[in-house]
Amino acid sequence: MRVDVEDTVTGGRIVRRTLTRNVRRVSVGTLLICIHQLAETAVPITLGWIIDSAITSGDPTWFAVSILGLAALFLCLTTAYQFGMRSLNVALQHEAHRIRMEVTGRILDPRGLDTSLRGGELLTISSTDAEQSAWFLDLFPRIAAAATAVVATAVALMIIDVPLGLAIFIGTPIFVAVLQLVAPRVTRRAAEQQRTVAEATALATDLVSGHRSIEGIGAETEAATRYRRASAKALGAALLTARSLATQLGITTGVSAVVAATVAGLAGYFALVGRITVGELIAVVGLAQFLIEPLGVLSSIPAVVARARASADRVALVLGADRILDHGTEHIMGQRLDLAFRGVAHRSLQAIDLDIASGEIVAILAYGPEDAESIVAVLSGQVSPADIAGDVLLAGIPTRDIDLAHVRASIVVEPHVSDLFADTVKNNITAGRGHTDRDLDGALRASGADQIVASHADGLEQRLTERGANLSGGQRQRIALARALFAEPPVLVLHEPTTAVDSVTEHAVARGIATLRHGPTVRTPKTTIIVTTSPALLSVADRVVVLRDGRIAADAPHSVLLELADDYAEAVLR
């Protein structure tokens, strides 16, 4: 059965966890940013006071002291802002990195991930969404700072004149209420935009990775049409989001301007009738102008919150997904690794019983490609036990009970389509393993990849592009096969490893695999299972297991089947 996560992971929980584990840096940063806003609020008040006291009095000494005080105020607000934003940015970047690593680790967990998300969507979540989920570390401090600025401004205006302060206390709730009216629509549209963009990215990833196959079947027009539709859908969602944001910005900017203009107008009238001084008028006008900034910050918050929360929800889809497999506890190192199927049923397979002794090279020929894919999936160990009936035994122990690391080390499955990495040929084959050059030479010869190395001036140091796109299909197959052989696993499963090579190379590869893994110089018995229809590979197997309609139809040497089974000969001879 699938392995459930310990606790339900939601976007809200991601947000709370993000804030909790960065509480120290966020608290310090928020405090310093609030101090910065208080100092900003104090600037116009200080200027008004200087005009009313130092300038009016005509005392140069007092004026100089006042200017020094103003300079100290600017030093305070600048220092508070720099250290506050530094603390918040450090927290944000560290948290974004931490979420990226958590998402990536979850995706790459050997126990698998039970999700319908495609590769491109997972890529978007592990990069863009992981970063945007950390935005809350910057959002809440900005909200706190903006609220501090609004309250400080209102209090200062209240001290100067009560009606001026009341204008802020009354206008701000109206402003916030307007934000709440438009926030839900912005949130929905931002989430829809991110979803459609992720879908378009996933489709683009699939098309790029499979562009050679698409060209091979002449489906470029259909592929382009599908991507054009997905991109147009993403564009439509982006335009709707932009329209909502523009509407919101226009409304909130207008409301904030009205609030600021009302305060400045009242102050001007009060100055004309002698209710407030010239210095107080300047202070009020400065505060009204300054007020536009925190109100602007508040107006932008719903859109940013919408994007960050949508990203947190998408991160939760990965972090909250069930694991497909569980860790067993049994160890099998040093034992004879016989492999057996007992009543195995999965997809098209129906109650398969099969024994493969350690040291055998067994070929499996499936008349239906669905049977071949099903048995490779079972052997890969990446299918949930809930989706498989029966048992796969390794050294007599069900694989579900064996420690997962031991299973992965004992059974290596090289799929029909393998990915190469943007690195050298050597690093693609060795993958960081510390074997000798002799081991590498053996894997190169057996796979036919030595021809690829010899044909390029850089040899093993030849650089491959992403997914090995600068190689032909046959060259990619041989490099991937060399990587599998170089790993020297006790049990190696190959799925159609030579479909893209010519017949001469195919025969050489078949002999190379048999010699490298089962030749007279091999000390430790190794098992090789080749799922194939290639007569060259079938001929080097000790026996061939034939699958028809999900069941074993025959189990005999290749030569015997050629003589006794007409349909077998017809299927493999070409």
**Region label for 488, one of left (φ > 0), alpha (ψ between -120 and 50) or beta (otherwise):** left
Residue 378: pLDDT over 70: yes
Amino acid 192: pLDDT: 62
Tokens at residue 481, please? 């096969």
Instruction: For 264-282, write each residue's pLDDT tens digit.
Output: 777 777 777 777 787 877 8
For the chain, count helices (H), then strands (E).
Answer: 21, 10
Averaged pLDDT for residues 543-563: 94
Instruction: For 64-103, write each residue's pLDDT tens digit.
Output: 888 888 899 999 999 999 999 999 999 999 999 999 999 9
Averaged pLDDT for residues 250-254: 67
Residue 432: pLDDT over 80: no
Residue 244: pLDDT over 80: no
Give SS3 for 417.
Answer: coil
Q: Which pTM does this prediction carry? A: 0.67
Averaged pLDDT for residues 451-479: 88
Amino acid 220: pLDDT: 63
Q: What is the mean pLDDT of the chain?
A: 82
Averaged pLDDT for residues 391-397: 91
CA–CA gap between residue 482 and residue 435 (Å, rounded): 13
Averaged pLDDT for residues 537-541: 95
Residues in the chain: 574
Amino acid 327: pLDDT: 72
Q: Kindly give the pairing relationship between strand 352-356 and strand 339-345.
A: antiparallel
Residue 478: pLDDT over 80: yes
pLDDT band at 3 (very low <50, low <70, confident <90, very high): very low
CA–CA gap between residue 333 and residue 317 (Å, rounded): 36
Amino acid 64: pLDDT: 83
CA–CA gap between residue 227 and residue 70 (Å, rounded): 59
Instruction: For 117-130, write each residue's pLDDT tens digit.
Output: 767 678 778 888 88
Top-confidence range, 106-110, 411-415, 546-550 = 546-550
Tokens at residue 362, please? 């067994």
Amino acid 80: pLDDT: 94
Amino acid 349: pLDDT: 94
Percent of the chain predicted with pLDDT > 70: 81
Instruction: For 275-323, write each residue's pLDDT tens digit.
Output: 778 787 788 778 877 877 787 777 777 777 877 888 898 899 899 888 8
**Which of the residue ranges 298-307, 356-365, 511-520, 560-569 would you say has the lowest mean pLDDT?**
298-307
170-177's contacts with Cβ under 8 Å and 24+ in sequence apart are: 171/255, 171/258, 171/259, 171/262, 172/259, 172/295, 174/255, 175/252, 175/255, 175/256, 175/259, 175/295, 175/298, 175/299, 176/298
Amino acid 358: pLDDT: 93
CA–CA gap between residue 569 and residue 535 (Å, rounded): 9
pLDDT band at 494 (very low <50, low <70, confident <90, very high): very high
